[in-house]
């Protein structure tokens, strides 16, 4: 039995291809292993960040593939089509981290009524959230279009939630407004929604072509195009959450606000235009926000289920806006996956679109 995998060259992300990989027969699965057919997965600019940071943050090691190539992790749904675990039946539906492929073998461990983990040795060097699978069969929150929203935005909203919590826990570092680059990105407008909800001013920075969409979201107090960022008043303290990863923009903002730049956190790389050495910038030193570290901190402080409970409440307030601002576009087969991948890599996907893909014909 074979699977089809979509892989990309680690040193040149524009080079991509599909390959066939071998799978064990159903009756030859290792003990406790599951053979999962990957039904559909979300693909967003966040997945490009996974690829860009693949070596540095160990994303490439999650689903090893051909030498020199990488398998980009995606969030999606799979169905167990063969099981050698006594507590996981064939037909079980799982939501979690998958390769861009048609199938995956999971070494099921820590199996409970709500979920399980992949205990494969090569997956243990990354944050536990990337190895967890929810058992979602029969759960209406993961069915149909609601399921698509979960795949497209729940993992990104988790990041939005964590960044908002980090800012709130530090009293926003004294900032009176929070600047968000790549304001049309899903992580950015999720964060803007949370900032707006707690009464903090959110200023969206975006390209002229995305201004209408960003404004229509209703969660930004102000929308400014990149060529006008120096028109912002520089006499009040601000925080900068950088989803774009554009060195020129970051430098411009730090020099414009100077000591009033009280916090500068890097979250994404939608622009993929970061210089290796930016030098010292005025104001707060830019730093990466690493979500797994904040998850571990809050898990200790809030206890079992604490993060999930708070995230669930925040998601309930965010989800209603998705039907209004997001159009789900579906694609099936290798050609469709390749096109969406390249369009996302080149920034050609309209911000109002969310793509759900499958390599299955």
Instruction: List, for residues 130-177, the tens digit of each pLDDT value.
Output: 999 999 999 998 999 999 999 999 989 999 999 999 999 999 999 999
What per-residue confidence (pLDDT) applies to 57?
82
- Which stretch of 36-50, 83-97, 243-257, 262-276 has the lowest confidence by average pLDDT? 262-276
Q: Are 249 and 229 within 8 A, CB to CB?
A: yes
Structure tokens at 350: 């309209």
Using CB atoms within 10 Å of the CB of residue 238, give its burial: 0 to 12 exposed, 13 to 18 middle, 19+ buried: buried
> How do beta strands 222-225 and 238-242 pair?
unpaired
pTM passes above 0.85:
yes
Using CB atoms within 10 Å of the CB of residue 354, give its burial: 0 to 12 exposed, 13 to 18 middle, 19+ buried: buried
Helical residues (DSSP H) of the chain, grouped into ranges = 45-52, 144-169, 186-197, 211-216, 247-257, 291-302, 306-318, 322-325, 334-345
Helix (H, G, I), strand (E, B) or coil at 99: coil
What per-residue confidence (pLDDT) applies to 17?
98
What is the chain's mean pLDDT, rounded? 93
Instruction: Give the list of residues 6+ apart from residue 181 with CB closer than 8 angstroms, or none.
Output: 188, 205, 240, 241, 242, 243, 244, 246, 249
* Residue 45 pLDDT greater than 90, yes or no: no
Rounded to 5 degrees, φ, ψ at 83 are -140, 135
Which has more pLDDT, 64 or 347?
A: 64
Confidence of residue 354 (pLDDT cuts 50, 70, 90): very high
Report how far apart the first and last C-alpha atoms of the chain are (Å, whole number).
16
Confidence of residue 304 (pLDDT cuts 50, 70, 90): confident
Ramachandran area for residue 58 (φ above 0: left; ψ -120 to 50: alpha; else beta): left
* Residue 112 pLDDT greater than 80, yes or no: yes
Confidence of residue 270 (pLDDT cuts 50, 70, 90): low
Mean pLDDT value of segment 64-92:
97
Confidence of residue 323 (pLDDT cuts 50, 70, 90): confident
Alpha carbons within 13 angstroms on the beta-carbon side of residue 229 total: 23
Structure tokens at 121: 């040795």
Which has more pLDDT, 207 or 245?
A: 207
Q: Are 109 and 70 within 8 A, CB to CB?
A: no
Confidence of residue 277 (pLDDT cuts 50, 70, 90): low
Structure tokens at 6: 């979509």
* Residue 1 pLDDT greater than 70, yes or no: yes
Mean pLDDT value of segment 269-283:
69
């Amino acid at each position: 039995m074979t699977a089809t995998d979509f892989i990309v060259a680690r040193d040149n992300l524009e080079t991509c291809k599909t390959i066939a990989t071998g799978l064990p027969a159903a009756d030859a699965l290792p003990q406790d292993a599951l053979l999962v057919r990957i039904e559909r997965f979300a693909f967003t600019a966040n997945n490009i960040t996974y690829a860009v940071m693949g070596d540095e943050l160990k994303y490439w090691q999650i689903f090893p593939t051909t030498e020199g190539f990488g398998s980009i992790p995606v969030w999606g749904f799979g169905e167990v089509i063969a099981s050698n675990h006594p507590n996981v039946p064939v037909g079980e539906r799982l939501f979690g981290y998958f390769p861009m492929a048609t199938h995956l073998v999971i070494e099921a461990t820590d199996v409970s009524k709500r979920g399980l983990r992949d205990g494969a040795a090569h997956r243990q060097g990354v944050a536990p959230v990337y190895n967890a699978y929810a058992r979602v069969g029969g759960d209406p929150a993961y069915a149909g279009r609601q399921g698509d929203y979960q795949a497209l935005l729940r993992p990104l909203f988790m990041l939005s939630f964590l960044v908002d919590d980090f800012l709130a826990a530090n009293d926003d570092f004294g900032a009176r407004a929070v600047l968000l680059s790549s304001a049309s990105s899903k992580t950015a407008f999720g964060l803007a929604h949370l900032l707006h909800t707690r009464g903090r001013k959110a200023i969206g920075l975006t390209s002229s072509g995305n201004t209408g969409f960003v404004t229509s979201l209703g969660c930004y107090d102000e929308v400014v195009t990149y060529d006008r960022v120096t028109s912002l008043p520089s006499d009040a303290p601000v925080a900068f959450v950088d989803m774009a990863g554009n060195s020129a923009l970051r430098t411009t903002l730090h020099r414009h606000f100077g000591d009033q730049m009280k916090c500068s956190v890097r979250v994404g790389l939608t622009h993929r235009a970061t210089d290796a050495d930016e030098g010292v910038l005025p104001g707060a030193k830019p730093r990466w926000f690493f979500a797994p570290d904040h998850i571990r901190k809050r898990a200790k402080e809030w206890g079992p289920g604490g993060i999930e409970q708070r995230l669930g409440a925040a998601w309930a307030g965010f989800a209603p806006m998705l039907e209004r601002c997001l159009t789900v576009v579906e694609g099936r087969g290798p050609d469709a996956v390749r096109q969406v991948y390249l369009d996302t890599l080149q920034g050609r996907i309209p911000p109002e679109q969310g793509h759900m893909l499958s390599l299955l014909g």
